[in-house]
Structure 1
Amino acid sequence: MFNLANNLTLARVGAVPILVLLLYFPSRGACFAAMMVFIAAAVTDIMDGVVARRCNLVTNFGKFLDPLADKLLISAALIMLVQLGWVEAWVAVVIVGREIAVTGLRAMAVDHGVVIAADRYGKLKTVLQMVALCPLLLHYPVWGFDPAPLGQTLLYLALVLTLVSGVNYFYGFSKQAKWSDKAAR
């Protein structure tokens, strides 16, 4: 259970309280540090999958924890950015709500004997959310460049992809559930 791939995922979970603490008292330095912690945690998302596949370390624990760690990291960042007034609350509610809905859908799918794996839209959604959050976490201008407008634009694109991928998961599940219901008859 505690192999290298799962430890990388657990490190991503461990980054969440550090991120929250850094954003609790925002300053130029704290925001830069929060962005660096976030980037390091996001890199573990890439690394844990590569390590798990290459070293044959894929476990049920890792399959469960990896998407949960992504959701915790992104949700924590969004919630703190809302609290700071740097992201609109409705954007965070839609993104976090979609994550909860898809997690619930996956749990329901298990009851139907259907496994809902992450698809390319879901993976792209996660990457775009992580990329969008970096300039929003940085917040303060650097060498005359204001990262906030870039972050906002990327976050709105991530929001659209979040909704599209959520609809795709629900559509895919409904097709599979109908097929498995017919096969059971």
Structure 2
Amino acid sequence: MLNLANRITLTRLAAVPVCVILLNFPNKLSCMLAMCFFLAGALTDFLDGYIARSRNMITSLGKFLDPLADKLLVISLLVMLVQLQTINGASWAPAWIVIIIIAREMAVTGLRAVAMEQGVVMAADRWGKFKTVSQIIAISLLTLHYPWFGLDPQPLGKFFLYIALVLTIISGANYFRSFFKAQRNSDGSPSQ
């Protein structure tokens, strides 16, 4: 069960507490280290999936751990960015955006569980992939927080966070549309 792909996924889970601890004591160095651990964890998402598919290492444990690790990593960092905003008054990440992103993740996870129970496969579409990339860029820049070499990462981080928000809504709506379309087709109703 703990093949190479699953062990790589576990390293992504291990990055979560490291990032949270580093961001509990925000300073220039801890934020840079948290961003590095976050990026390393995010990159393992692509690596473990590639290894699992190319070496035929897809397991039930991996199917469970992979999306769990993705969501824990992203949601933990977003929550920490909101917490940091309330601690020092600086602008890290607006809570309302984080709430929408987390709500979408929970809704899509629930929908996928229902779909799986009914034998419907809900694969990630391009909007979901764009959403993931924009979230990674936004969280990385917002976690970096402090100016580096005279450049402030916050405005660009917030720009990508708004892009991630729009893509979160679009991709979430697509999941629900695909599910209901599959439901109509399985009921024998004419598809549109």
Aligned positions of 1:33-52 closer than 5 A = 33-52=33-52
Alignment of 1:52-91 (within 5 A): 52-85=52-85, 86-91=92-97
For 1:23, the equivalent position in structure 2 comes to 23
Residue 164 of structure 2: aligned partner:
158
**Cα drift, residue 180 of structure 1:** 1.7
- Cα RMSD between the aligned structures? 1.1
Shift of 1:26: 0.4
Paired residue for 1:168?
174
In 1: Cα distance, 2:180 partner to 2:106 partner: 18
- Tell me which amino acid in the other structure corresponds to 1:19: C
* Structure 1 residue 32 corresponds to structure 2 residue 37: no
1:144 aligns with 2:153: no
What are structure 2's unaligned runs of at least 5 residues? 86-91
CA distance in 2, matches of 1:121, 1:101: 16
Q: Extract unaligned runs of 5+ from structure 1.
A: none
Normalised TM-score (structure 2): 0.92
Identity of aligned residues (%): 56
Q: Which residue of 2 aligns with 1:102?
A: 108
- TM-score, scaled relative to structure 1: 0.95
Mean alpha-carbon deviation: is it higher for 128-137 or for 174-183?
174-183
Letter of the structure 1 residue corresponding to residue 17 of structure 2: P
- Shifted more, 123-132 versus 86-95: the winner is 123-132
